[in-house]
Amino acid sequence: MRRRTFISAATLSATALATPPDLRAQAATARSDGRRDVPRYPQDAWFDQLPGTHRLFLDATNVEEAAGAVGFGWNFLRTSQSGYKLTDADQAVVICLRHGATQFAFSNDVWHKYDVLRKLKYKHPDTEKKVRGGNVFRVGSTDPDSMDEGFTLDGLAKRGVHFALCGVATRGLASMIAGAKASADAKETIMDELMAGAVANAHLMASGILAAQRAGEYGYTVLRG
C-alpha cells in the first residue's frame, strides 16, 4: 500500500508514530484553578515540541496576508534580538498558510511544473501589479536591496520558524492539478509531490482554521498576517 501524506511534511514525532489509529484525545491534567481542561491530540503535539518561550502564530489566507506574515515573522525575530537580546531559539514562531495563501508553501519547481499554478493570478506584494505564477515568498522580494534572504519562507525556516499548511486547500490544489477524472491514487501522488516540495518545517494540518484554533490552546498568540 502506498504512503499517505499525513500530519507533517518534515517529520513525524515518536509520539505520533506510537499513537493508536483511532487518535483518541489524550485528556490534559486536571486543573485546580477552575480553568477548563483542554484535551490534547497527537496530530497537534508539534506545537508543544517547538523550542522557545515566546509563542507567536501568524495566520494568512491570501497573498497580502502571506506577505504580512513573512514580514511580521522576520520583524518579530529581529526586534526580539535588538530589543531584548533574545535569540531565535527563544521564540516559537508558526506561520499558517491556508485558503488562498496555501499555494505559496510549495517550491518554485512545483510552480513551474504545473500549469494550474502558473496561471494563478495575484497582486504582487512589492509592485501591487497583477501577476501570474512565481512563488515570490520562496525566492524573495523583487527589491533585494530592501529585503535580505531572511525575508522569505526558506530564510525564516532556517531560523526555526515552522509552517502550518491547510490540508483542505492542499488537497484542493492536488485535485486541480490531477484533474477532475483522476483517481484517488493519482491525487494522492500529487499530494506527496506537493508536500515533498513544501517549505522546510511544514506541518500538514486537517485544516488551517483548526491549526489556528489549536495554536491558541497551546499558548500561542494568534495574529492575522
Domain positions in the chain are: 38-224
**How does pLDDT run across 200-221, given as a tens digit for each residue?**
999 999 999 999 999 999 999 9
Beta carbons of 41 and 206 less than 8 angstroms apart: no
Query: What separation, in Å, do the N-terminal and C-terminal C-alpha atoms of the chain show?
Result: 39
For residues 89-94, give the mean pLDDT: 97
Read off the DSSP letter of residue 125. Answer: T
What is the fold, at CATH topology level, of the domain defined by 38-224?
A: Hypothetical Protein Ychn; Chain: A, (3.40.1260)
Beta carbons of 75 and 187 less than 8 angstroms apart: no
Bridging pattern class, strands 54-60 and 91-97 = parallel
**How does pLDDT run across 21-40, given as a tens digit for each residue?**
444 455 444 455 556 789 99
CA gap 99, 62 in Å, rounded: 7
For residues 125-142, give the mean pLDDT: 75
User: To 5 degrees, how large is the angle CA 195–CA 137–CA 55?
Assistant: 80
> What mean pLDDT, rounded, does the chain reach?
84
* pTM score of the predicted model: 0.82
